[in-house]
Amino acid sequence: MISLRPMRESEYSAYLAYFIPEYAAEISSNYGFSELHSLSQAKREIAADLPDGVNSSGQVLLCLVDQSERPEMLIGYLWYKPDSAMRSAFINDFHIFAAHQGKGLGKQALEVLEGELQGKGIEQIKLRVAADNERARHVYEVTGFRVTGVNMSKAIASAGPATRLT
């Protein structure tokens, strides 16, 4: 049985130790930035989004716990941002530790999240998943998520100082 509980201050540094390198790798893969640039960007973004760590206003950081284990076992993390005006929540990060993947725990965690959000009046869950993350896409699709758009980007090479056309 999976449950969600608020992340403790003492768990936040372990979360960052996982999240920042993973997010930096995603930035590098998606945008072709160097590892150093991607790491720097990931750190800037997390500092902006979570300025007060687990107590950041408007953000919810959770730990996924397997209660069938004794003592209960931390199996992953979930970070979302609720939007009460839109009656929605946006999942920023959802991660099941590698040792616990492939056991249906991600599906269970999403079902628990859905029930909790529904009880808070949330009517829609949104997220972004990398196109090449087939495992995550599978979990989301089998739990009822559908593609609603496609993110695209194009890098524009710097042409140096602007020149004036006359």
Q: Output the tens digit of pLDDT for each of the chain's 166 residues.
A: 899 999 999 999 999 999 999 999 989 988 889 999 999 999 999 999 999 999 999 999 999 999 887 788 999 999 999 999 999 999 999 999 999 999 999 999 999 999 999 999 999 999 998 877 888 888 999 999 998 888 777 778 665 555 555 5
78 bridge partner residues: 62, 94
Distances (CA, A) of 109 to 52, 81, 160, 164: 25, 17, 49, 57
Placement of tokens 């750190």 in the chain: 43
Placement of tokens 């007060």 in the chain: 52
Domains detected in the chain: 2-142 (3.40.630.30)
**pTM, whole model, 2 decimals?**
0.87
Distances (CA, A) of 21 to 88, 98, 138, 145: 28, 15, 23, 26
